[in-house]
Amino acid sequence: MTGAAGINKKRTFKKILSFLGPGFLITVGFIDPGNWATNIEGGSKFGYDLLWVITLGTIMLIVIQHMAAKLGIATGKSLAVNIRERFSPPVSAFLGLSIVLACVATDVAELLGGAIGFKLLFNIPLWSGALLTVILEIFLIVSQRYHRLEKIIIGFLGIIALSYVVEIALVKPDWAVLAPSVIIPKLNTSSIYVAMAILGAVVMPHNIFLHSNVIHSRKWGISRDEKKKLLRYEKIDTSTAMLLGWVVNSAMIIVAAAVFFRHDVFVNSIEQASATLEPFAGPLAGFLFAVALVFAGVGSSVTSSMAEVNVITGFLGKSEDPQTFLYKISVFITAIPSFLVILLSLDTFRILIFSQVVLSIQLPFTLIPLLILSRDRNVMGYFRSSNREFVIALIISGIVIILNMYLLYSIIAGRS
């Protein structure tokens, strides 16, 4: 019995490992340049006080991403395809156009992260770093099979996480002060804006569409019982991947707090953070910062473009197979606007702000259809969201939408 039990445990463990992957592609978008900017600002200005926001945001993200993945598993179709089939043509067209524009805006921010990283590492012009990021992005998507690309992205995440683990060791944070801040909220009138920015940037519309699509890379079976049995592996994948994102995002705040806040240096840009980090933490810390940023920028650019192309093919009713001509040409075409925006404007702060504004406007038009579809018995069947799950998701969606709308208002009011 002991031998048989051991064999079964090994088989179960291997089965779990075989299902890990889709959630990790989503995690790359959870640590994109927009997150870097808000986390660095939060840590440099408020120390460890806003670590709890990362914890809360991660919990919210797990719920929403699980719903997106479950929609893909239950229907065998992505969110884009479900919207096209279940909503009227005018509504579907509007939602499709809005998410494509949001994906382009996201791709600009992701591409910018890679460009800044290459600039920091090799001292090359920003446009050269952006071009190099575009080339790598297109090469990785077009030339690699999905499962190989998945492994590459997981490798990127490993490098980013390792870089920040080493940086934490170098900066020696105050763990006694840090630990309670992970779960105990601390908020005041001066920190609420940055806290909302951190929380509002966690749930990104393109990641929701992407997860509902890439989840099909696993064989979920046909019958309800098969899907029900395997759905727990999706939960493990999503939760594990999001927790890795929680570790990296928390590490960003910890490093910023331990270096910048400790020395009363307020940092509000990625470039400034890099320039300021080395004098306080040494050249290795500065080098690892740039390396992590390069892999975050390239990795998030890849997943952003994948989301963009999957949305285009899904709303057009075309094949979502990466080997088709439409898929390959879409990857190339959708990368051009992002590169041109960076080529024509060197104000990186304005670019990041612009991308966040577009995402804020579009987010309700992703979350609301997801909630409607997840609650529709004709769509989900047995896997229809329970009352508890729906209410929790509704509350989370409401919070995220309100935060993003408030940030949008604040940005517009601040610029007027």
What would the pLDDT profile of 127-178 be if each residue is shown by its tens digit? 899 899 988 988 888 887 888 888 999 999 999 999 999 999 999 999 999 9
Quote the pLDDT of residue 196: 77
Superfamily of domain 23-415: Amino acid/polyamine transporter I (1.20.1740.10)
Q: Would you list the domain boundaries of the chain?
A: 23-415
C-alpha–C-alpha distance, residues 313 and 331, integer Å = 11
Residue (of 106, 64, 93) closest to 368 by Cα position: 64
C-alpha–C-alpha distance, residues 241 and 22, integer Å = 9
C-alpha–C-alpha distance, residues 248 and 245, integer Å = 5
pLDDT band (50, 70, 90) for residue 345: low
pLDDT band (50, 70, 90) for residue 242: very high
Distances (CA, A) of 231 to 16, 119, 225, 241: 11, 43, 10, 15
Quote the pLDDT of residue 146: 82
C-alpha–C-alpha distance, residues 171 and 188, integer Å = 27
What would the pLDDT profile of 243-282 be if each residue is shown by its tens digit? 999 999 999 999 999 999 998 988 867 888 888 888 888 8
On average, the pLDDT of the chain sits at: 85
pLDDT band (50, 70, 90) for residue 237: very high
Quote the pLDDT of residue 37: 81
Quote the pLDDT of residue 254: 95
Quote the pLDDT of residue 6: 60
Distances (CA, A) of 11 to 8, 15, 130, 176, 209: 5, 6, 44, 41, 31
Beta-carbon contacts of 267 under 8 Å, excluding residues fewer than 6 positions away, are 40, 41, 44, 256, 260, 273, 276
Q: Provide the percentage of residues in the chain whose pLDDT is more than 90.
A: 42
Residue (of 164, 149, 171, 387) closest to 282 by Cα position: 171
C-alpha–C-alpha distance, residues 367 and 58, integer Å = 16
Quote the pLDDT of residue 88: 95
Quote the pLDDT of residue 36: 83
DSSP string, 50-99: THHHHHHHHHHHHHHHHHHHHHHHHHSS-HHHHHHHHS-HHHHHHHHHHH
228 with 143: CB under 8 angstroms? no
Quote the pLDDT of residue 33: 77
Beta-carbon contacts of 39 under 8 Å, excluding residues fewer than 6 positions away, are 54, 198, 249, 252, 253, 256
Quote the pLDDT of residue 167: 92
pLDDT band (50, 70, 90) for residue 4: low
Quote the pLDDT of residue 318: 87
Residues constituting the chain? 416
Quote the pLDDT of residue 111: 85
Quote the pLDDT of residue 105: 80
Quote the pLDDT of residue 352: 66
Quote the pLDDT of residue 112: 84
pLDDT at 356 over 70: no
In which element (H, E) is residue 39 found?
A: helix 33-46
C-alpha–C-alpha distance, residues 276 and 43, integer Å = 14
Q: Can you give the pTM of this predicted structure?
A: 0.88
Q: Provide the percentage of residues in the chain whose pLDDT is more than 70.
A: 91
What would the pLDDT profile of 289-318 be if each residue is shown by its tens digit? 999 999 998 999 899 888 888 899 999 988
385: which DSSP letter? Answer: P
